[in-house]
Amino acid sequence: MKRLFPILSVLTAVLLAYALYEALLVAPTDAQQGDVYRIIYYHVPSAWTAFLLFFINFIASIQYLASAKPSTKTAAKWIVIAIGVVGVIACFLPQVQHLLPKGMRPSAVATTVLAIPAFYFLIGKFFPGERLDMLALTSAEVGVVFCTIVLVTGPIWARPVWGIWWAPGDIRLTSTLVLWLIYVSYLVLRRFSNSAQTQMLAAALAVFGALDVPLVYFSIWFFRTQHPQPVIGGGGSMDPRMLQVLLISWMAFLCFAFLVCWSRFRLEVLRREIEEAHAMESLVGTGEAPSKASLPLSRSSR
């Protein structure tokens, strides 16, 4: 594992450099916007990566909440299976297809619905117990970084194209800002709350916060907005060469996000081990038997 990280880091750096080369030199210039449109090669992959990380945070938080009792865990498992099966079948029913926004492919919706049980069981398998909470924290923190990039690069693109930095009241922009604020609140809660219930409260906040992700994504279909229409999964008309560069760029950012999450996860594991050691050290000194509930939540190194 120790050797894998540097190898993956080098490969990711090469992929990021290649994506940059493709974005700046290979992708064709947009006829209307000129070269400034190339900002989408950083803006859109960052948004997709942030959504994916918030989705992982959502699933890990549900798993963490459900794991409090064996009965809740079983109930949650069957609810998730039901969501997957019913959701996929419903996407192909003509009555439901009627309700989908114009241009949205039922197969794209079905794939997204299917991702819920798939991620649920994969995350449950590879991140048991407290590791679920660590994964939730990791994905939220890295997701906020990517969401910050979306909120910074968006206005930089909007200024030359729209003539304004920000369109006040625009649902896509506002809901993205709200999403960012929700996850910043989540991180603030985790950083400053010293209660034994912090992890549970944060998980509950994350579940509600994740409800904003579909609102952000679907806002351009359901509301009038200045934001451009989606480039894939919604009948967009993007040049195939531009789309190819966009996907390469997203792959590069996904690899980068994976490495950052890996580092952040390791950091969290180490932090908790040290916290436990400090607690045990102080309890051994007082002659008490250490218990999990007696472990303090030191904030010095968070």
Partner 1 sequence: MNAMKFLLAAYIATWVIHGVYLGTLVRRFSRLRQQVKELKGSGFRRSAPGFPPQV
Which residues contact partner 1 (rule: CB under 8 A)? Answer: 20, 33-36, 38-39, 42-43, 46, 142, 145, 148-149, 152-153, 156-157, 159-160, 256, 260, 263-264, 267, 269-271, 273-274, 277-278, 280-281, 284, 300-302
Q: Exposed e or buried b for every residue in 223-250, given b needs 16+ CB within 10 A?
A: eebebeebeeebeeeeeeebeebbebbb
Q: Are 132 and 67 in contact (CB under 8 A)?
A: yes
Nearest to partner 1 of 61, 249 (CB atom): 249
- Residue 225: CB minimum distance to partner 1, A: 21
Closer of 20 and 238 to partner 1 (Cβ): 20
30, β-bridge pairs: 34
Among candidate residues 48, 29, 10, 6, the one with its CA nearest the CA of residue 232: 48
N- to C-terminal Cα separation, the chain:
24
CB of 84 to partner 1, least distance (A): 34
CA distances from residue 82 to 3, 71, 88, 225, 268 in whole angstroms, order as listed: 41, 17, 10, 34, 33
Of 148 and 198, the one with the shorter C-beta distance to partner 1 is 148
Q: Which is nearer to partner 1, 39 or 140 (CB)?
A: 39
Tell me whether residue 145 or residue 207 sits nearer to partner 1 (CB atom): 145
- Assess contact for 193 and 201: CB atoms under 8 A: yes
Q: How far is the CB of 111 from partner 1 (least distance, A)?
A: 28
Smallest distance, partner 1 to C-beta of residue 55, A: 20
**Residue type at position 271:** R
Measured CA to CA, the distance from residue 150 to residue 156 in angstroms comes to 10
Report the candidate in 82, 89, 91, 93 with the shortest Cα–Cα distance to residue 117.
82
Q: Which is nearer to partner 1, 226 or 263 (CB)?
A: 263
**Rounded to the nearest whole angstrom, what is the least distance from the CB of residue 207 to partner 1 in the complex?**
25
